[in-house]
Amino acid sequence: MVGAFYTDTLAQPDNEARVSALIGKVMADIGVDSRHTVLYGTSKGASGALLHSLRTGLKAVCVEPILHADDYYVRRYRDSHFTCGMFPRDKRELFAAHLAADGPEAERVVIYSSHSPQLPYIRDIAMDSPAATGSPSSTCRVRRSRTTRTWPPPRWACRSR
* Averaged pLDDT of the chain: 78
d(CA 154, CA 151): 7
Binned at pLDDT 50, 70 and 90, residue 154 comes out as: very low
pLDDT tens per residue across span 40-53: 999 889 999 999 99
CA torsion, points 117, 132, 60, 3, in degrees to nearest 10?
-40
Binned at pLDDT 50, 70 and 90, residue 128 comes out as: low
Binned at pLDDT 50, 70 and 90, residue 152 comes out as: very low
E strand or H helix at 143? strand 139-145
Instruction: Verify cis geometry, omega within 30 degrees of 0, for the bond prior to 152.
Output: yes
d(CA 147, CA 143): 12
Higher per-residue pLDDT: 137 or 25: 25
DSSP designation for 156: P
pLDDT tens per residue across span 5-43: 899 999 999 999 999 999 999 999 999 999 999 999 998
Compute the average pLDDT of residues 133-160: 43
Question: Taking a C-beta distance cutoff of 8 angstroms, is the pair 84, 75 a contact?
Answer: no
User: Can you give the residue ranges of every domain in the chain?
Assistant: 15-160
Angle between helix 44-56 and helix 91-100 axes, rounded to 10 deg = 30
What is the value of pTM for the model shown? 0.77
Task: List C-alpha distances in Å: 100 to 1, 111, 132.
Answer: 26, 19, 10
Q: Which of 31-45, 61-75, 96-110, 133-147 has the highest mean pLDDT?
A: 31-45
d(CA 28, CA 52): 16
